[in-house]
């Protein structure tokens, strides 16, 4: 079985990438690798934090993935709004 820490971190990174793609589709600017890397950095820390602070004992792998996707999306959204 895959370790929960790895699953949550990858899911959070995917959620952050989805938010950057959403932002790119809603603007006229081309997709920027700088924005992608900028979204992955806080997403990695959020993925590590979620597994350290939230009790994931009773959650299955699907629940961790869904939680990670939503957390990654919301972390990247909050960081992008804070930059503006």
Mean pLDDT of the chain, nearest integer = 79
pLDDT (average), residues 32-44: 79
**Own/partner long-range contacts of 19-24 (Cβ < 8 Å, ≥24 apart):** 19/72, 19/73, 19/76, 19/77, 19/80, 20/76, 23/80
| Tens of pLDDT, residues 19-34 | 888 877 877 777 778 8
Give the helix/strand (H/E) hosting 24: helix 4-25
What is the domain partition of the chain in residue ranges?
Answer: 4-83
Nearest to 7 by CA among 64, 63, 76: 64
Q: What is the DSSP letter of 29?
A: S
What pLDDT was estimated at residue 62? 86
Residue whose token pair is 């971190």:
9
Does the pLDDT value for residue 1 go beyond 70? no
């Amino acid at each position: 079985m895959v370790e929960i820490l790895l699953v949550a971190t990858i899911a959070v990174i995917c959620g952050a990438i989805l938010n950057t793609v959403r932002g790119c589709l809603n603007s006229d600017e081309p997709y920027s690798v700088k924005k992608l890397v900028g979204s992955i950095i806080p997403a990695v820390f959020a993925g590590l934090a979620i597994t350290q602070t939230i009790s994931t004992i009773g959650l299955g792998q699907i629940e961790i993935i869904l939680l990670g996707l939503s957390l990654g999306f919301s972390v990247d959204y909050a960081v992008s709004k804070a930059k503006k």
